[in-house]
Structure 1
Amino acid sequence: MAYGKYALILISMGYCCVGWAQAASDVSAMEMRRIFDTLTLPDAPTRYNSGSGLPGPDYWQNRADYVIHARIDTPTHALSGEETLTYTNNSPDSLDTLWLQLDQNIYRPHSRASFVNPERHARTTDGVTLDSVAILHEGHEIPLQPHISDTRMRLALPGAPLPHGHRLRLRIRWHYTIPGPWGGRTAVTPTEDGDIYEIAQWYPRMCVYDSHRGWDTLPYLGQEFYLEYGDFDYAVTVPWNFTVVGSGALLNPAAVLTRTERGRLAQAARSRAAVMIRTAQDVTAPDSHLAHAGEKTWHFHMENTRDVSFAASPAFMWDAARMDLPPVRPAPGMPPAPRLAMSVYPRAGRGPQAWDRSTEYVRHAIEYFSRQWFPYPWPNAINVGGHGAGMEYPGIVFDGWKDRDAALFWITTHELGHGWFPMIVGSNERRYAFMDEGFNTFIDAYASRHFNHGEYAPKQDPEFAPQTGRPADDIIPVLTDPQAPPLMTAAELVPEKYRHSVSYFKSAYGLVLLREQILGPERFDTAFRRYIQAWAYRHPTPSDFFRIMESESGEDLGWFWRGWYFENDWPDYAVSDLSYINNDAQQGTQVSIRTLGRLMLPITLRLEYDDGTHADQVIPTESWHQTDTLTVTFPGGPPVLRAVLDPDHTLPEPDRANNIRSMK
């Protein structure tokens, strides 16, 4: 805030004051009580989730570890696999039933998703075929009869339930046909040099059992995930001329990469600039591969993650560069390894403002988010140039090989930002999209400002219009649209029309308001980092987030949660009067202000003098607790030109015509 040479001394001495209007109506006082009344959050504090927003002393979480062997049959575009799933019951309950997710069933004809979002799920397959499901016990398989309901599988356990502190192992064999281009979040896309396989949501995955609902078994309708954490060891068998990149660390480079490729990777581990691991010439050269016939198996490992995904193709160019992060152990018994930013893409994706810069963007995103919020925990970060799903998984993201310029930077940064929300902070995306998409959009907006002196700032979302470059204006159509759902609306109930504008933009802009207008960067950043640290690899609810931000920032924010998250309220202030005290500028100036809105964000009142100076006074939220009108008194000084509310245009006010009043 800037102060004029006259006002600076007087205000600092306490001569500027805010006074109540003489008479606030009973109606306005009752409305203020409603706005500022105590907000009851959806989830009450328990021994599992404390009133501070931190995990409680008895917080628990179940665990799922996977060993998976998969194979791609390229003539039929079929993926087959066998997994051993070790499930640990840390809950206080004994479990007689297990639930798993079969996301590929979303592509079956007449799936629930085909009715809910037909425009997003036009392709069909037979879904997942389960070849066998069994419990492994003392070296033997005990067959189970799965009960399939759309994208869920229920397994009734024979004999005694699984008690607290015990684990069991399942062996599941399965196969399915990979959908074609834009199959949703798993695809096979043809290019001039061969098919690109982007393999995600590809194995039967445990549903979450938690203290809020027991088994959380929402069907998969396209609104992403809610998953348990564990360790993954997985192997993928593909034709000899395929290159595979995947979540985690590659454990058998000598078995799948040439000496030249391994040497280039070693060079990349020492280089901040991208080093080509597979060049454009390599893509069409059979001798660039270790073998010249048959198949190869690529072996990966990733610890403490919710999920893994991979991409495979004979068409991949591949480059990598060192990330400036501490080394991590890639697998038990393996030495610490360098951290690499990587990109794979077809030759058609090359270009100085296209995929040639992808690894530069990857490196910046991971390093910036690590420094600003929480350290990136996994060995590598990979950007895949494929069909263009714009989709994130731990350690790997799927973007479009046709992306370039700012669009490639924005999509790369956004998808990698999901490594923090929800891959590290494991919120329930199926129910609360704003905790995933919005929180991530918030952090990647700041990353856009940071990259290369703002080369691609401000961040824009091509899915959302209008975009003026002024968020305070862009959000107004959402706030004033009577059909727009509030942020706390269940994810599946947010219409596609509002998905980006609400779950992404409104959520992100709410955090910007909280950081820049309500708490200030220091208090906000400290509280937000505490939230990430406390809930890393755990499952927070919205109530946990609301509570921890209040507890850590030292601010009662119930009015903001109510207005911005539970309702679609907005601020609307007006200068109703401007006058000198006793008609004498030397005695001081009084400015009367009225609130016409229901979101009482702090607002700056500026008094502009005729000598070019000005004085600012921030009117805090508490000023409106019992009235809709107040008067601000400024000390005497030069003649006044006008009073201006929100002079820097930082608040989302639909009607700004009454924000200025000139002295008569």
Structure 2
Amino acid sequence: MRKIKLLGWVLSAFLMTGSLSLFAQQGRENNQQDFSEFMDRKGNYYRSASGKPGEGYWQNAADYQIEVALDEANFTLSGKVTLTYTNNSPEPLDFIWMQMEQNRFTETSRGTLTTPVQGNRYNGDVDGGYQISNLSAKVGSKGTTSSKYLIDDTRMQVWFAEPIPAKGGKATVSMDFSFKVPQKGMDRMGRLKVADGWIYAFAQWYPKVAVFDDIEGWNVEPYLGAGEFYLEYGNFDYKVTVPYNHIVVGSGKLMNPNEVLSKELQNRYAKASQSDETVFLITPEEIKNTQLTRPKQDGTVTWHFQIKNSRDIAFATSDSFIWDAAKINLLSGKTILAQSVYPKESQGQEAWGRSTEYSKASIEHYSKQWYEFPWETATNVAAEIGGMEYPGLNFCHYTSKGRGLWGVTDHEFGHNWFPMIVGSNERRYAWMDEGFNTFINHYSTLDFNEGEYPSTLNETRRFNNYFTSDSREGIDNYPDVTNLQNLGMVAYRKPGIGLVVLREYILGPERFDNAFRSYIKTWAYKHPQPADFFNHMENVAGENLSWFWKGWFYGNGNIDLGIAGVQPYGGNYLVSLENKGDFPMPVLLEVSYDDGSKERITLPVEIWQRGDNWIHQIKTTKKVTAVVIDPDKVMPDINLANDSWPVEIYK
């Protein structure tokens, strides 16, 4: 096809009829519906319109004491959990609901029965589930003890003899529990056979209280698969008894190193905590050398951990771990420990030998850029798990290497900010943890080792095949409803891309970072809803972004801005722009002149309030040779053909 010289139809009309008729055309349509509120974001007593907790905001608290023991012969974990529950809500509670996630691993669980016949990532063993006994529930220190409970799938309802008083009433629930440790634990926990023994990855391992909040009351969605977790904050004190030759790593601080580590291992641990370089605690050659590394040579040993102001805990144990560690430096001057445990199969500098280096870099970056990491250790565990996060501890696949290991390690540690510090509801709003985390991973990857590994999140147009497909789904879909083939886009990439566009194209880094840091600080250890995020970002950044939230996060449309033509006029130039997409966006133009110079012009999103066409006048004495929309290609605009003038691609 011959090269086309574009003349905007509006410009032709302008030259024929004059300026009054031209500019009158720009007001004939009205797109105000694109800019109007799309959800109820009004403030109330509990949550303010500024996106902060309101005067009456409350959330309940859950403190746990847990003691468990591993029976390797039967692959079971057994023990006792005691929950101290504080009801800060404005109403008395006759009962509480608890999450019983190991019950997912039964033949009749809802999760099993809703798994496709062909299977998926969330396949799991079906011969498990909790055994519960000796349940005791009591309000206050002198209340009457109740043993009444009801278990339905992955939920347990525990009743009290009298209600837990509102606004600070306390209750305790204790029970004995045991379960068979699944070998395949839905890619989130389980056990892995390696050359030297078994690796046990324990998550969703103790009965835990569900969230009672001002939005839903009790949040009792069952544990099915894709939907993750929503948990209360509190303090954890837990003890894990294992065979003497095991190493245990867990969320929080190891409280009894003198009892579980040999003198040599204690010395190495202390050395690692002062070293910026990775230090071996147990080398590959020392895995079975219990004389060197363990204080006992028979029986069992109990490892004791504590973590404060956390929403969950996880741990791993094995007799087959290589163990290394290094110091993490925080801006406050505090230092904590990065550590990795992995089998011989995972060793090597091209693989898990760099895990602690990756872990240290990841935690230091996020702490500097967004909010300081609050816990004493950051642990990476090699297991047969693609990647899963818990406070201060990850499970990543034991065969991961190089860029893949960096990516999964960095992603899972990023989850310490979303949702471990900012406690959103993962079971409903995956985009508020996976998407936000994917966004911060982008900048961490660019920062790591001067860009050793590439990030693709800013290459937004590489995903246009998805954005234009008929099978695409909206970000606001619940994760358990979303087609698993789309989950990576719906929960991870699309919201991550949206935040990159918001930072780099709409608000700019300074305004965005001020707002995002404020959001994290404001909602740290609390339970924000989507409206709280939207309101807070708008109030701190100083921008009404309803059109963007509505179009990108709560819509399924696409962006298509175009240049209809460029025409000289009165010694200047007129650029005819059009919005052929499903929602508006600001317009960044790069104008090239015949003297080789370039100029960037930003037009506000409000130009589209009046319609889908707009004329912009470039005032210049130079000759315009080219005009391009979004020269850095930040926006995922689905149509490359109309982004530039002259259009050279048509030949």
> Which band: TM-score by shorter chain?
over 0.9
Matched, 1:86 2:84: yes
2:407 aligned with 1:410, yes or no?
A: yes
1:203-240 deviation per Cα after TM superposition (whole angstroms, max 9, x unaligned):
00000000111111110112110000000000000001
Alignment partner of 2:419 out of 403, 418, 422:
422
Counterpart amino acid of 1:84?
T
> Alignment partner for residue 435 of structure 1, among 412, 427, 432?
432
Cα drift, residue 183 of structure 1: 4.5
Alignment of 1:547-566 (within 5 A): 547-566=535-554
| TM-fit CA distance, 1:19 | 11
**Equivalent-residue separation in structure 2 for 1:475 and 1:603 (angstroms):** 21
Partner of 2:32: 33
3-state SS of paired residue (1:489): coil
- Please give the per-residue CA displacement for 1:139-164, whole angstroms capped at 9, x wherever unaligned: 89834132111100011212345433
Q: For each residue in 1:618-646, what CA deviation from the matched residue of structure 2 results, as whole angstroms up to 9, or x when unmatched?
A: 22111111122121222333333233222
What is the SS of the residue equivalent to 1:142? Answer: coil
The C-alpha deviation readout for 1:78-99, integer Å capped at 9, x for no partner, is: 0111011100000000000110
**Structure 1 position 297, deviation (Å):** 0.3
CA distance in structure 2 between the aligned counterparts of 1:398 and 1:391, rounded to whole angstroms = 5
The answer as to whether partners of 1:178 and 1:187 remain within 8 angstroms in 2 is yes
Deviation at 1:359, TM superposition (A): 0.5
SS across alignment from 1:244? strand
Looking at structure 1, the residues matched to 444 and 432 of structure 2 have their Cα atoms a distance apart, in angstroms, of 18
Please give the per-residue CA displacement for 1:441-485, whole angstroms capped at 9, x wherever unaligned: 1001100000010001225xxxxxxxxx75321332333233322
Q: How has the CA–CA distance of structure 1 residues 504 and 311 changed in structure 2, closer, same or farther, with 3 Å as cutoff?
A: same
Q: How do 1:394-543 and structure 2 match up within 5 A?
A: 394-459=391-456, 471-543=459-531
Aligned counterpart in structure 2 of residue 375 of structure 1, from 353, 363, 372? 372
Cα distance change, pair 165–295 in 1 and its aligned pair in 2 (3 A): same
Aligned residue for 2:329, secondary structure, equals coil
Shift in CA distance, 637/357, structure 1 to aligned 2, threshold 3 Å = same
**What is the CA deviation profile of residues 41-83 of structure 1, one whole-angstrom value per residue up to 9, with x for unaligned ones?**
2454211110000000110010000000001100110011101
Q: Deviations over 1:232-265 (max 9, x none)?
A: 0000000010000000000011111000000001
Residue 92 and residue 351 in structure 1: after superposition, are their counterparts in 2 closer, same or farther (change >3 A)?
A: same
Give matches, 1:65-80, under 5 Å.
Answer: 65-80=63-78
Which residue number in structure 2 is paired with residue 56 of structure 1? 54
The C-alpha deviation readout for 1:258-308, integer Å capped at 9, x for no partner, is 000000011111110011111112102231321111000000000000001
Contact 2:424 2:528 in 1 (8 A): yes
> Match of 2:161, SS?
coil
Q: Is 1:230 paired with 2:262? A: no
Distance 1:21 1:529 in 2: 45
Residues 317 and 346, structure 1, Cα contact 8 Å, conserved in 2: yes
The answer (yes or no) to whether the contact 2:382–2:398 under 8 Å persists in 1 is: yes
Note if contact 1:24-1:627 (Cα within 8 Å) is conserved in structure 2: no
For 2:576 and 2:244, the matched residues in 1 are separated by 77
Determine if contact 2:137/2:159 at 8 Å carries over to the other structure.
no
Aligned partner of 1:311: which letter?
A
Structure-2 residue corresponding to 1:465: none
Sort the Cα spacing of 1:380 and 1:124 in 2 relative to 1 into closer, same or farther, 3 A: same
Number of the residue aligned with 2:306: 301
1:580 matched to 2:581:
no
Q: Give the letter for the 2:416 counterpart.
A: G
Deviation, 1:608, is 2.2
After the TM superposition, which residues 114-129 of structure 1 pair with which residues of structure 2 at under 5 Å, given as runs?
Answer: 114-118=112-116, 119=119, 120-129=122-131
Shift of 1:398: 0.3
The aligned residue for residue 174 of structure 2 is 171
Measure, in 2, the Cα distance between the counterparts of 1:286 and 1:635: 79
Give the conservation status (yes or no) of the 8 Å contact 1:579–1:663.
no
SS of aligned partner of 2:480 = helix
- TM-score, normalization by structure 1: 0.90
Change in CA separation of 1:346 and 1:556 when aligned onto 2, cut-off 3 Å:
same
Counterpart of 2:16 in structure 1 is none
Unmatched segments (≥5 aa) in structure 2:
1-18
1:22 corresponds to 2:27: no
Q: Answer whether contact 2:458 2:497 (CA < 8 A) is retained.
A: no
Partner of 2:633: 649
Cα distance change on mapping 1:219 and 1:46 into 2, 3 Å: same
Q: Is 479-488 or 438-447 further displaced after alignment?
A: 479-488
How big is the shift at 1:598?
2.5
CA contact (8 A) 2:355 2:409 kept: yes
Conservation of the 8 A alpha-carbon contact between 1:21 and 1:630: no
Contact kept, 8 Å, 1:182 with 1:387, in 2: the verdict is no
How far did residue 131 of structure 1 move? 1.7
Q: Give the alignment of 1:561-640 within 5 angstroms.
A: 561-582=549-570, 587-640=571-624
Paired residue for 1:99? 97
* 520-529 or 178-187, which deviates more: 178-187
Q: Who is 1:5 aligned against?
A: none
Q: Name the CA distance, whole Å, in 1 between partners of 2:564 and 2:335.
A: 63
8 A Cα contact 1:251 1:301, kept in partner: yes
Contact 2:189–2:385 (8 Å) recurs in 1: no
3-state SS of 1:493 partner = coil
Aligned amino acid, residue 115 of structure 2: N
Q: How far off its partner does 1:315 sit?
A: 0.4
Shift of 1:615: 2.7
Which residue does the alignment assign to 2:6?
none
Separation (CA, whole Å) in 2 of partners of 1:267 and 1:124: 44
C-alpha separation between the residues in 2 aligned to 1:595 and 1:263? 65
| C-alpha distance 326-661 of structure 1, shift in aligned 2 (>3 A) | closer
Number of aligned residues: 623
TM-score, normalization by structure 2: 0.92
Change beyond 3 A, Cα 1:636–1:90: closer
Alignment of 1:246 onto 2:250: yes
Please give the alpha-carbon distance, in whole angstroms, between the structure 2 residues aligned to 1:146 and 1:438: 37
Say if 1:141 and 1:313 are closer, same or farther in 2 by CA, change over 3 A: farther
Cα distance 1:21–1:152, how it changes in 2: closer, same or farther (>3 A)? farther
Contact residue 188 and residue 195 of structure 1 kept, 8 A:
yes
Q: Percent identity?
A: 39
Please tell me whether the aligned partners of residues 63 and 89 of structure 1 are also in contact (alpha carbons under 8 angstroms). Answer: yes
Corresponding residue number in structure 2 for 1:212: 215
Aligned residue in 1 for 2:323: 318
Tell me, yes or no, if the aligned pair for 1:96 and 1:162 is still in contact at 8 Å: no
Separation in 2, partners of 1:268, 1:663: 60
User: Aligned letter for 1:313?
Assistant: S
Asked whether the 8 Å contact 1:604–1:645 carries over to 2, the reply is yes
Q: In 2 relative to 1, CA 422–316 (structure 1 residues): closer, same or farther, beyond 3 Å?
A: same
Structure 2 equivalent of residue 331 of structure 1: none
Whether the 8 Å CA contact 1:131–1:175 is kept in 2: the answer is no
Cα distance in 2 between the residues matched to 1:375 and 1:636: 49
How far has the Cα of 1:40 moved from its partner?
Answer: 3.9
The one-letter amino acid paired with 2:242 is V
Is the Cα–Cα contact under 8 Å of residues 327 and 339 in structure 1 kept in the other structure?
no
The worse-fitting range, judged by mean Cα deviation, of 618-627 and 291-300 is: 618-627
Aligned: 1:364 with 2:368: no
3-state DSSP of counterpart to 1:311: strand
Query: 1:392·1:418 contact (CA, 8 Å) conserved in 2?
Result: yes
- In structure 2, what is the Cα distance between the partners aligned to 1:255 and 1:383? 23
Contact 1:128 1:175 in 2 (8 A): yes
